[in-house]
A and B are shown apart, each in its own frame.
Chain A
Amino acid sequence: MDQKGRKSVQVTYDVLIIGAGVVGCAVARELSRYQLKVAVLEKESDVAAGTSGRNSAVIHAGFNNKPGSLMAELCVEGSQGFEELCAELDVDYKRTGKYLIAFDEQDLAILERLIRQGEANGVRGLRMAEPEEYRNAVPNAGEIGAMYSLETAIVNPFQYVTALAQYAAQNGGRFYFDEQVRGIEKSGDGYRVDTERGTFFSRCLVNSAGLHSGEIAAMTGVEGFRIYPCRGEYLILDKVASQELPIPIYPAPRAGIGGLGVHLTPTTNGNVIIGPSAEYIDDPEDYASTAPVMEKLWSEAVQLLPSLTRKQIIGSYCGNRAKLAPPSEGGFRDFVIQEFSEAPGAIQLIGIESPGLTASVPIARRVAGLLSKHVRLVPKAELIPAQKRKPRFRDLPRVEQDRLIALDPDYGEIVCRCEHITKREIKDAIESCPGLRTLSAIKYRCRASMGRCQGGYCLPRIADILIREYGMMPDEIVMRGKASHLFGRGFLREEV
């Protein structure tokens, strides 16, 4: 009762997850199987807005990590279950394998050591490859040798995170976007979390805040974890490039700051990405590409695949690794997946960098295990299974296309000319945005404006749809976050 005699009424979640990246969403999915009240707080307007949506989109086999580490254990576990997981969630996944190229004798020794390390971790299908085998994929790789990993795969990371979140949401999980956590306090036998806009109560917390996991840990009373953001820059190539690259190719990893070296990777959408670089930076959200690195990426990529031409570049992006290893130390420090005595009931997930995408579901299982001390994990009697994505209009046979157009003429209006995305598909994407209907949320859900004209044709048309059919004003349309306004009001006066 407060001073005026009012009784306080509040919703108390069983578990509040901070961060809707791949790990947060995997935890939400895992917990949604149980009779728990689960919510996810995300400071951005969409899932996968940080590192989860800004990476190489590779499912690692698990040979890069030290035997006995959590990274090794969870990566191998994740990798070996990923195909089945993607089938269940209907996510684009392709087991491509991967080559690691040796450029000198020293590299060769590194690769041989990697195979031994991988085998110790339980990775299958690792072997050295002869030049005649890999020359087709990498004509310029030289004669020294390469390593082949059978189980390495590529995935559509945005689809994957979206599918995890979707599963959690349809099974009772709540998602709050544009909710940046400002403070955390102990409250009763749980926690009170204050955001910019509101207050949340929960029995337990999961800190899956990625680049901000050190700060969130400190808010819960767990001091001493600092995240050193390490930026990786990428270039994106037009789809024509993927005809020349069916399989990811990496250089042999050399010691230095923790990264896997600049590699070329086909994406599930048929593009090729080049990157990432590795550079420690101060601001965890500094996603700026830099001229020298862009040049370096290009020259290293051309070294691996000389047939590439600059005209194939259609864009660039950056992602930042949430590293626990400071610049002075370099390399990798193991994942922290732990509950500390300073903050009982708060599971800290800190330093989840690569292979966090691969390990996401195994991490989520560990989290559920740790939480079981605090909340009872009673399985729900019924779960709504993951929904199949609608097939893309452009991939359908003509008869089916005609049937759809007859049902809904919006299928007959192609709005994105590069990717052949129809108005209906764009409207579906708009309607399925969990947070703000931002252009990038729409883009990632239907691929409109991801082609070679980069929205030149469809941007005005998508704006038109948002204005005419969803009642938005031009100055309400944003690109990514709530402050990224694309337009002003019309220049002509509103009064008639």
Chain B
Amino acid sequence: MTEKQLAIIGGGPGGMAAALSAWEAGVRDIVILEREERLGGILKQCIHDGFGLERFGEMISGPEYARRYAALLEKTGVRVETNAMVTSLLPDKTITAVTRRGVMEFHPGAVVLATGCRERTRGAITIPGTRPAGVYTAGVVQNLMNCRNIRVGERIVILGGGDIGLIMARRLTYEGAKVLAVLELQPEPGGLQRNISQCLYDFGIPLYLSRTVAEIRGRDRVRSVVAAQVDEHGKILPDTRFEIECDTLILSVGLIPENELAGQAGIRLDGRTNGIVADEYLQTSAAGIFACGNAKAVMDLADHVSKEGALAGRNAAHFLLGQAMERRGSGYESRMAKGLPKEGSVTCILCPNGCQIEQKDGKWSGNRCPRGEKFAQQEQKEPMRTLTMVLRTVWGGLLPVRTDRPIPKAAIFPLIEYCKKQCVSSSCMAGDVLIENAMGTGVDLIACDDFAPNKAVSECDETGDRVGKQMVIERAR
């Protein structure tokens, strides 16, 4: 056993924060095991903005958020093993990971589980009907569109008014697909008010509450879905069925903590949510194994996942160094407003609070900060939005980009068309301006991720196979 070693399983917002804080707390032998090619986890495909307000004090996109943490990690001596899929975790903390370099085994003194969550599938919610092509979970669509330049369909119905579904409704609309309906089983949507406002209302996408998909039709490809109203127990009401012709059904019906490894190690799981049960120090039922983020309980904000990851990392460090551990405390729940925006009010989208701002007798109320009032005024004059997109690169991959500040709503679609014609042909780093004064709008298009084609090319052998590269980051001197 490498007694002073900390192994972190998962390199998303929780795992990266855990590594960073454990390093800061004095642990010098830390390894992050990440199954994908790069750190960042699901943030890499979340190209929309809305991240980082709590952690970095500004609103940035998912890839930028991941990049910032990765950059902080590069200044430490944390060892990062990418393309490393952990296939087993034993109660004695033995970890086995399969990589392109071989099978690795670790015997750390402490472990942080930052394994995230997975999406609930069609099978799990037993939607009746046929099984044609064209039924996807929202995260899969997000990955295909934002990371692989693959589009899934043209006429879309989304089941589930959760945030991923809402974000994808907007993203699909940007790319020219027609989102015909968002169906939500509950009488109130589960997503943030600001997402209802900026992802659905902005584009006139209809939201149907207390509705579900009663049947999927189509032999080879989805031909239509039958929507229906449900009662308060979620039971379908007869005679409320209506057919929507579409070619794609996207499911955004919940996230399940990803806990096969924890289960394998005999760690106690919550029977209802499948989340890891952890104490106030984020320690699981196994001493020295800590858990954070969505693997423990699905959270709304990546910032909170990082915050919890940081604590898990610190406490793992304290555990290794024989120091007292810190309690979790509060500050993980934001005042985020969920559900339907109030009628007649302006939903502020500047932060997740989603203040409902109303004007009465020339006075604004409902905003919790002065920025809200400015936003509401601007919203009346000319609504402004930040555009997040991807650009093609000459090497085939995609680079996420965004405008450096909001642009008039009317300029969004022309700018999207403009973006589609652009192609990145040089190296750049997150934050670099790619296009100055895009289309004369006065805003710059900035890169949301580092892009190094030469590196990407050098990692490919002749057959195009990516050769796994061990990335040991030297401690900055």
Contacts and interface: CB of A to CB of B under 8 A. Distances in A.
A496 B126 contact: no
B435 interface: no
Interface residues of A, number: 59
B286 interface: no
A491 B149 contact: yes
A413 B83 contact: yes
Contacts of A459: 140
Interface in B110-156: 118-119, 121-124, 126, 128-134, 137, 139-140, 143-145, 147-154
Interface string A257-299: 0000000000000000000000000000101111100100000
B147 A486 contact: no
A294 B129 CA distance: 10
A480 B133 contact: yes
Contact of A285 (B147, B217, B219, B464): B219
Interface string A390-415: 00001000100110011001101110
B140 A460 contact: yes
B236 A412 contact: no
A479 B218 CA distance: 13
A162 B99 CA distance: 31
A398 B103 contact: yes
B307 interface: no
Contact of B420 (A418, A422, A491): A491
Contacts of B153: 488
Contacts of B175: 491
B128 A460 contact: no
B197 to A, nearest CB: 25
B464 A463 contact: no
A264 to B, nearest CB: 17
Contacts of B158: none
A219 interface: no
Interface string A459-496: 11001100011000010001111011111111111001
Contacts of A317: 131
Contacts of B464: 468-469
Contact of A493 (B129, B130, B148, B420): B420
A430 B464 CA distance: 17
B305 to A, nearest CB: 19
B349 interface: no
B467 to A, nearest CB: 7
B150 A412 contact: no
A457 interface: yes
Contacts of B391: 492
Given A285-B219, A487-B144, A456 B119 contact: yes
Interface in A432-479: 452-457, 459-460, 463-464, 468-469, 474, 478-479
B221 interface: yes
B187 to A, nearest CB: 21
B76 to A, nearest CB: 26
A479 B131 CA distance: 10
B240 to A, nearest CB: 14
A285 B219 CA distance: 9
A305 interface: no
Contact of B118 (A236, A313, A453, A463): A453
A66 interface: no
Contacts of B121: 314-315, 453-454, 456
B124 to A, nearest CB: 6
Contacts of B260: 418
Interface in B414-472: 420-421, 423, 463-465, 467-468
A406 to B, nearest CB: 7
Contacts of A488: 150-154
A437 to B, nearest CB: 14
Contact of B87 (A406, A414, A478): A414
A464 B148 CA distance: 8
A126 to B, nearest CB: 36
A122 B456 CA distance: 66
Contact of B98 (A289, A414, A481): A414
B343 interface: no
A311 interface: yes
A475 to B, nearest CB: 9
Contacts, number: 163
B468 A412 contact: yes
Interface in B57-86: 83, 85
B409 interface: no
A195 interface: no
B99 A412 contact: yes
Contact of A483 (B100, B131, B139, B221): B221
A193 interface: no
A460 B141 CA distance: 9
Contact of A316 (B87, B123, B144): B123
B102 interface: yes
Interface in A291-324: 291, 294, 311, 313-317
Contact of A290 (B87, B122, B128): B128
Contacts of A422: 98
Given A487-B152, A491-B151, A412 B128 contact: no
Contact of A453 (B119, B147, B152): B119
A290 B144 CA distance: 30
A483 B219 CA distance: 9
- B83, B98, B119, B220: residue with the most chain A Cβ atoms closer than 10 Å: B98
Interface string A59-86: 0000000000000000000000000000
B392 interface: yes
B133 A454 contact: no
A420 interface: yes
B342 interface: no
B385 interface: no
A412 B100 contact: yes
A235 interface: yes
A417 interface: yes
B475 interface: no
A291 B128 contact: yes
B123 A454 contact: yes
Given A314-B121, A405-B103, A468-B464, A460 B148 contact: yes
Contacts of A398: 96, 103, 105
Contact of B149 (A315, A480, A492): A492
Contacts of A405: 98-103
Nearest to B142: A460
Contacts of A464: 148
B406 interface: no
Contacts of B183: none
Interface in A348-370: none
Contact of B140 (A288, A409, A456): A456
B134 A460 contact: no
Contacts of A474: 150-151
Nearest to A314: B123
B103 A401 contact: yes
Given A456-B119, A485-B220, 6 more contacts: A405-B99, A412-B102, A456-B121, A457-B118, A460-B140, A463-B144
7 contacts: A291-B215, A409-B101, A409-B465, A412-B100, A454-B121, A469-B463, A487-B150
Closest 8 CB pairs of A and B: A315-B123, A479-B133, A412-B100, A483-B220, A484-B220, A490-B149, A414-B85, A409-B100
